[in-house]
A and B are shown apart, each in its own frame.
Chain A
C-alpha cells in the first residue's frame, strides 16, 4: 500500500482526535515499519488494518465508520494534492469513469510496483453509473468513503447504493438526482 495512504491516515487521526491518539495506535500495533511512513514509500496493507482496528478500539467508533470517514477525507486530500487528475468539467460520472483508465495508468507510470484496486465502470444511462470494486484488500468501506468524498467534491446531488456480489466484489451504483 502506498505510503501516502498511511501519512494521510495519521494526519487525519491527528486532526480529528489528537497527536496522542496517533502515538497510542502506533504503540499498540505491531508494525514492521515502526510507524515511520513517507508518502513515497510502500508498506504492507496489514499495517493499515492494524492501525484502523486499534483506532476503533481507542475511540470506540466502529471500524466500518472509521474507514468510510477516512475515505471521505482521503478523496478531498488527493484532490488537493493532485488537482490535475481530477477532471472537473464533465461532471462526477465522467470522472468516476476516468479513474481506472486514466488515473490508475498515470499512477502505474510513476510506481510500476503499485498494487491498485480495480474500479470497473459501466454507464447505464447518462445519469446512472455502476462501478464494480475489485480488490484483494477488501477495503469496500474505504472505497465507499472515497465515493462519498467524490460526490461531495463535485457538489452534485447523487444517491450511492452498495451491494455485495456473489463473487465477493462490491457493486456501487451512483445515480444523479
Chain B
C-alpha cells in the first residue's frame, strides 16, 4: 500500500468514525424522544380520563345546584303566596270590622291591625316580586292606560303620608306629555310608589317632587323619564353603588331607623329594565336625592292625546295665582297658560287690594298654613270681583271647608295638584265646553232628543267629585241635580221624580248602602223606589262590587270617573229608562 493510499484510508477511517458517532448520537436521541413521547402520551391519556371524570362530577354538581335553586325559588314563591292569602283575609276582615259599630278603643285596635297587616303585605309582596324576578317569572302586562290616571293614583296613595309629615308633594309635567300609553301601569305605579314612599320616608321637612319628562318620542313609542326628588338626608357617594343590590340599604342603621326589606330598589331596577329603561340616583348628603328612571312605552298614534286632556277653549279668561309654594304655583301657571288662561302670580293677598282686576279673572289661592290664612282672610276679606275663586288646600278638614265657604270660595281643590281635575273643575264652573264636546253635544242632542228629559241625581259628599260628575254629564248632554248626602237625597226624591241615581259609597249622615236600602224598601215615601242606582266607588275591589249589588244597586262606576266608561254606562241605562217610559 502506497503512503498516499494509507493517508486516504486514514482520512476515510476518520470520516467513518465521525459518521458512526453521529449515527449513534442520532439513535440515542431517537430513543430518548421515543421514550419521552410515550411518557407524554400516557400523561395525556391520564389527563383526559381525569378531565372527563372531573367534568362529569362538575356537571352533576351544577345540575344539583340548579335543581336546588329552582326548588328554593318555587318554595319561596309558594310560601309567599300562601302567606298572602290569609293576610288578605286579615286585611279584608279588619276593613269590614271598621265598618261595624265599634267604640273608640276597638276602632284604634282595628286600625293597628289594619296598618300592621298592610305593612306585612307590602313586605311579602316585595319578597314575592323579588323571587319572581329571580325565577325569571315576572312578566309585564301590555294594556292601554292613561298616564295621568296612573300618576294621580300614585299621588292619592302618597299624599296622606306626605301630609302626616307636612311635606309638600308636587307633581310636575309638561301639558303636552302623551297620555294614552300601552304598557304595564301597575308595575309603573309600583316603581313610582316605591321611589315616592322612599323619598317621603327619608325626608323630614321640605318637599318631594315627582316630575315626568318626555325624553324621546317616535311614531309609535315614547321614552319617558320620571324623576323623584326630595330634600331628605341624601346618600353618600360610596353607598350609591350598593343601593340597587338586593338586601342592601345605605347603612345598617338605616334599617333600624327606617325599616324596609331593601328589596324595593332592586325590584324597581329590574322593572325599569324590563320596561326598556334605566334607573339611577343623584344625591348630595344632607341636601337630598333625585331618583330617576326611564321607560319606553308604546303610544297610540291615531289618537294623539295629551296629558292635560283634549284642548279646552277658555275664551278670554285670566287668572291670578297666589301660593307661598313657588314651585307649585309656577307649575299651576304653566298649565293654566297651556289651557289658554292668561295666568300670573302675585306675592300676597294684600297686593290684590291695589290691583285693577278685570271681571273675567279667576283667583286661585294656596297657603302654607291654611287655617290661619283663612282666618285672617275672614277679617281682611277679598272683594268679590272674581269670576271664580278657588282655594288650594293640603289638608282636608271640615274646618277648612267651612272657612273657605265663609270666604266665598267657589270651590276647594286639594293638593297634591291634579291638573286634569283642575281643568275639569274650571270648565264645569265656567260653563266652557271644549270644541269637541260641543259638537258631541249637538250630535247627541239630535240623535236623542229626550235625553234632557231624563232626571239624574248625583249623591256625593265631595264637592269636587260632584262637579266632575256634573261636568261630564253636561258634556254628554244631561242635566243633573246634586245631593250632599243620603238624607238630602231621600228628601229630594220625595219632592221630585228622578230617573237615574249616581251614588257614592262613603258619605256622612247616611252612606250609600243605607240610602239604597231606604230607597228600595219603599217606606220612605219617595216617588220611585225601583230607580236604577249606579254606585260610584274608588275601591276597585271585586268585593265592593258585590256589596253594591247586594245592597240593591244596579251597576257601578269606578272613580276617578273615566269619561268613556260613563258614556257607556249612560247609553245602557238611558236605553233601559226610555224603553220603560
Contacts and interface: CB of A to CB of B under 8 A. Distances in A.
Interface of A: 19-20, 23, 26, 33-38, 40-41
B10 A36 contact: no
Contact of A38 (B10, B13, B19): B19
B18 A36 contact: yes
10 tightest Cβ-Cβ pairs between the two chains A and B: A36-B17, A38-B22, A36-B18, A36-B14, A38-B18, A38-B21, A35-B14, A41-B21, A40-B25, A37-B18
5 contacts: A23-B7, A33-B17, A36-B16, A36-B18, A40-B22
Main secondary structure of the interface of B (DSSP, over half): helix
A89 B21 CA distance: 38
Nearest to B22: A38
B22 A41 contact: yes
Contacts of B16: 36
B567 interface: no
Contact of B25 (A20, A35, A36, A41): A41
Chain B interface bracket (under 10, 10 to 19, 20 to 34, 35 or more)? 10 to 19
Nearest to B10: A23
B105 to A, nearest CB: 94
Nearest to A7: B18
A150 B19 CA distance: 31
- Of B13, B15, B16, B18, the most chain A CB neighbours within 10 A belong to B18
| Chain A binding surface, main DSSP class | loop
Contacts of A19: 11
* Max chain B Cβ within 10 angstroms of own Cβ: one of A20, A38, A41: A38
B22 A34 contact: no
A20 B19 CA distance: 21
A40 B29 CA distance: 11
Contacts of A34: 13-14, 17
B11 A36 contact: no
A151 to B, nearest CB: 33
A74 B7 CA distance: 27
Interface in B531-566: none
A17 to B, nearest CB: 15
A38 B25 contact: yes
Nearest to B16: A36
A23 B11 contact: yes
Contacts of A37: 18
Contacts of A38: 18-19, 21-22, 25
Contacts of B10: 23
Given A38-B18, A40-B25, A41-B25, 19 more contacts: A19-B11, A20-B7, A23-B7, A23-B10, A26-B14, A33-B17, A34-B13, A34-B17, A36-B14, A36-B15, A36-B16, A36-B18, A36-B21, A37-B18, A38-B19, A38-B22, A38-B25, A41-B18, A41-B22
Interface string B1-33: 000000100110111111101100100000000
Contacts of B13: 34, 36
A78 to B, nearest CB: 19
Contacts of B21: 36, 38, 41
A19 B11 CA distance: 10
Contacts of A23: 7, 10-11
Contacts of B17: 33-34, 36
A23 to B, nearest CB: 6
Nearest to B17: A36
A37 B25 CA distance: 12
A38 B23 CA distance: 10
Contacts of B25: 38, 40-41
A30 to B, nearest CB: 15
A26 B13 CA distance: 13
Contacts of B14: 26, 34-36
A113 B187 CA distance: 77
A91 to B, nearest CB: 37
A37 B14 CA distance: 8
Nearest to A38: B22
Contacts of B22: 38, 40-41
Nearest to A27: B10
Contacts of A20: 7
Contacts of B19: 38
A34 B15 CA distance: 10
A20 B18 CA distance: 19
Interface in B267-291: none
Nearest to A42: B25
A106 B275 CA distance: 62
Nearest to B11: A23
